[in-house]
Amino acid sequence: MTADKAILKQYGTKHVSADEAVACVKSGDWIEFGFFANLPLTLDVALAKRIRDQRLFDIKLRGGVLMQRLQSLESDNAIWYSYHFGGLERALAKEGKAYHIPIKYSEVPVYLRENLTTNVVMIQTTPMDEEGYFNFGVTFSHFKAAIEKADTVIVEINTNLPKVHGGFDHAVHIDDVHYIVEGGNNPIFELPSASPSETDLKIASYVMPEINDGACLQLGIGGLPNALGKLIAKSELKDLSVHSEMLADAFVDLVEAGKITGKYKELDNGKIVFTFAAGSQKLYDFMHDNPMLAAYPVDYVNNVLVTSKINHFISINGALEIDLTGQVCSESMGYKQFTGAGGQLDFVEGAYLSEGGKTFICLPATFKNKSGVLHSRINPMLTPGAVVTTPRNAVQYVVTEYGCINLKGLSTRERAEKLASIAHPDFRDGLKKAAEKMGL
Length in residues, the chain: 440
For residue 223, say whether it is annotated as part of any ligand binding site.
Answer: yes
In a domain, 277, yes or no: yes
For residue 38, how far is the Cα from the chain centroid? 12
Q: Both 160 and 216 in a single domain?
A: no
pLDDT confidence bin for 189, thresholds 50/70/90: very high
Q: Was 224 annotated as part of a binding site?
A: yes
Residue 61 marked ligand-binding: no
- Both 282 and 396 in one domain: the answer is yes
Task: For 174-221, list the strands marked E by DSSP.
Answer: 179-182, 216-219
Is 156 designated active site?
A: no
Query: Tens digits of per-residue pLDDT, 312-366?
Result: 999 999 999 999 999 999 999 999 999 999 999 999 999 999 999 999 999 999 9
User: Domain range for residue 90?
Assistant: 5-182
Q: Which residues pair with 157 in a beta bridge?
A: 125, 182
Which of the listed residues 156, 182, 208 is the one where a domain comes to its end?
A: 182
> pLDDT at residue 222 above 80?
no
CA dist 286 and 283 (Å) reads: 5
pLDDT tens digit sequence for 235-287: 999 999 999 999 999 999 999 999 999 999 999 999 999 999 999 999 999 99
The reply to whether 51 falls in a domain is yes
Whether residue 105 contacts residue 245, with contact meaning beta carbons closer than 8 Å, is answered with yes
At residue 226, the pLDDT reads 82
Q: Is 214 annotated as a binding residue?
A: no
User: What is the pTM assigned to this prediction?
Assistant: 0.96
pLDDT tens track for 59-114: 999 999 999 999 999 999 999 999 999 999 999 999 999 999 999 999 999 999 99
> Up-side HSE of residue 244: CA atoms within 13 Å toward CB?
26
- Asked whether residue 212 falls in the same domain as residue 87, the answer is no
- Tell me whether residue 189 is in a domain: no
Number of domains present in the structure of the chain? 2
CATH of the domain at 142: 3.40.1080.10
Q: Is 343 annotated as a binding residue?
A: yes
Q: What is the mean pLDDT of residues 150-156?
A: 98
Of the three residues 154, 182, 210, the one that is the final residue of a domain is: 182
Strands of 147-236 (E only): list them: 152-157, 171-173, 179-182, 216-219
CA–CA distance, 311 with 309 (Å, rounded to integer): 6
- Cα–Cα distance for residue pair 117/234, rounded to 1 Å: 49
Separation CA 371–CA 375 (nearest Å)? 11
Catalytic residue among 32, 89, 245, 321: 245
Q: What separation in angstroms does the CA of 387 have from each of 64, 97, 335, 337, 398?
A: 19, 21, 7, 9, 18
The last residue of one of the domains, among 151, 182, 213, is 182
| In the predicted structure, residue 379 carries a pLDDT above the cut 60 | yes
